[in-house]
A = this chain, B = another copy of it.
């Protein structure tokens, strides 16, 4: 494994990070053959928020997307992001759902499953690991990286040990907030590599803080095998660093060169430059380095969120106080990684604590569930006095949250009945009941042009008109 591999994220995390996950399958299809010819380690193309977005906004069948992609990637493995017991949804599902989902994913063309839990609770990974194994897929165990006084090289390395013990075929370091510094990247990869000389280590960094290129470089030098990059028009900012940058930077280092062809990458960039313009309506407008992430680990998106909540109460001036309280609440709640949903839970509770003037006087349902263990185990246990404040006399659960769930597939089949045309449809329905039902109904009525598509087309036409005017 002398060469470094690249996973291309353009058609999953790239547009999820920069274009609100709105890229349509029709904009992927024309370029898949080219992508397949480049020699990527894998192409991330499914999971994460794409499943939801397909059904909710694009009126696309996510399973159909997977089949269309797989048909055209003849030699490059497909890769997806699976949220452990949450699969591609936002709550814990029963084990029968997870088994069925992973089986159907493999049958429809998925090769590599990156599996994570937002709290790094490995109990929430168990079923997904087993299900992917059973279906014949590759299990990649993903560590959610974050920073806090209780997160250390040791604690993350132990997670990797546990996942490998549980049967992970490879390990991913998933740095969703862009917090992985170059020194930490080096230390962490070195430690995992030391104990597991042959395991494939893949790094997934976002460029939010500007660390990602440096983290990759140090990680690769310490023994990481694969790095996740996005072709330049879908790179940078809250997305991954640019494929071209890393390919060129590593090309001069024979031990770590990727061997990818810059000319083909140029063609791919040309293509996606056009695609990005088409979706200009979904640009977040965030540019360059988000220094807030570095100084108080709160990404710009979350700050806007907090400001929005405060503004509704005419209390925007309390932002500095809320940011401090945010850090305290995170500590109180056992230092969850800053990722959906924990970042929102912590942030909203911090706003409440400040506005009510009494900490935990009002507690959200989500805070209560987190404290009760309904999301899983927090990084460190929540202190008894905090638990008392949040839960009163109620006791937290001490087992895997999904242990309390009855099987769901049969009930769902009965509910959705004839509207579902396949097991895949039933799974879509389990994940997003209302949204999937509306989609099936729309499909049954013969489909038709749809709002988002119209918006995208209008957007593209506006751009092209502007260009013609500029050229004239």
CB pair A233–B295 under 8 Å, yes or no, is no
Distance between A221 CB and nearest chain B CB, rounded to angstroms = 10
**B-facing mask of A283-295, CB < 8 A → 1, else 0?**
0000111111011
Collect the chain B residues with CB atoms within 8 Å of residue A291's CB: 232, 242, 244-245, 265-266, 269
Collect the chain B residues with CB atoms within 8 Å of residue A290's CB: 232
- A262 interface hit (Cβ, 8 Å): yes
Collect the chain B residues with CB atoms within 8 Å of residue A241's CB: 210, 289
Collect the chain B residues with CB atoms within 8 Å of residue A386's CB: none
Can you sample 26 A-B contacts with CB below 8 Å? Answer: A182-B217, A184-B252, A209-B244, A209-B245, A210-B213, A210-B235, A210-B236, A210-B241, A210-B244, A210-B245, A210-B249, A211-B213, A211-B248, A211-B249, A232-B291, A233-B288, A236-B287, A236-B289, A242-B288, A244-B289, A248-B294, A262-B294, A266-B292, A269-B291, A287-B287, A311-B471
CB pair B183–A252 under 8 Å, yes or no, is yes
CB pair B244–A294 under 8 Å, yes or no, is yes
Q: A232's contact among B235, B288, B311, by CB below 8 Å, is which?
A: B288
- A48 interface hit (Cβ, 8 Å): no
Distance between A291 CB and nearest chain B CB, rounded to angstroms = 4
A213 to B245 Cα, complex, angstroms: 11
Interface residues of A in 418-472 (CB under 8 A from B): 471
Distance between A327 CB and nearest chain B CB, rounded to angstroms = 14
Distance between A214 CB and nearest chain B CB, rounded to angstroms = 5
Binding site for B on A (CB under 8 A): 181-184, 209-211, 213-214, 217-218, 232-233, 235-237, 241-242, 244-245, 248-249, 252-253, 262-263, 265-266, 269, 287-292, 294-295, 311, 471
CB pair B249–A289 under 8 Å, yes or no, is no
CB pair A181–B249 under 8 Å, yes or no, is yes
**Shortest beta-carbon contacts, A-B, top 5:** A210-B245, A242-B289, A236-B288, A244-B291, A183-B252
A303 to B291 Cα, complex, angstroms: 31
Distance between A57 CB and nearest chain B CB, rounded to angstroms = 22
Distance between A438 CB and nearest chain B CB, rounded to angstroms = 30
Which chain B residue has the least Cβ–Cβ distance from A234? B288
Distance between A467 CB and nearest chain B CB, rounded to angstroms = 12
CB pair B237–A288 under 8 Å, yes or no, is yes
Which chain B residue has the least Cβ–Cβ distance from A254? B183
A209 to B269 Cα, complex, angstroms: 14
Which chain B residue has the least Cβ–Cβ distance from A256? B183
A290 to B233 Cα, complex, angstroms: 9
Collect the chain B residues with CB atoms within 8 Å of residue A236's CB: 210, 236, 287-289
Collect the chain B residues with CB atoms within 8 Å of residue A210's CB: 213, 235-236, 241-242, 244-245, 249
Which chain B residue has the least Cβ–Cβ distance from A251? B181
A242 to B294 Cα, complex, angstroms: 11
Collect the chain B residues with CB atoms within 8 Å of residue A289's CB: 232, 235-236, 241-242, 244-245
Distance between A259 CB and nearest chain B CB, rounded to angstroms = 15
CB pair B183–A253 under 8 Å, yes or no, is yes
Which chain B residue has the least Cβ–Cβ distance from A245? B210
Collect the chain B residues with CB atoms within 8 Å of residue A214's CB: 213-214, 217, 249
Which chain B residue has the least Cβ–Cβ distance from A268? B291
Which chain B residue has the least Cβ–Cβ distance from A261? B295
Q: A248's contact among B209, B217, B242, B265, by CB below 8 Å, is which?
A: B209
Collect the chain B residues with CB atoms within 8 Å of residue A266's CB: 291-292, 295
Collect the chain B residues with CB atoms within 8 Å of residue A242's CB: 210, 288-289, 291
Distance between A179 CB and nearest chain B CB, rounded to angstroms = 10
Q: Known contacts A232-B288, A288-B232, A291-B266; is A245 also within 8 Å of B182 by CB?
A: no
Distance between A17 CB and nearest chain B CB, rounded to angstroms = 12
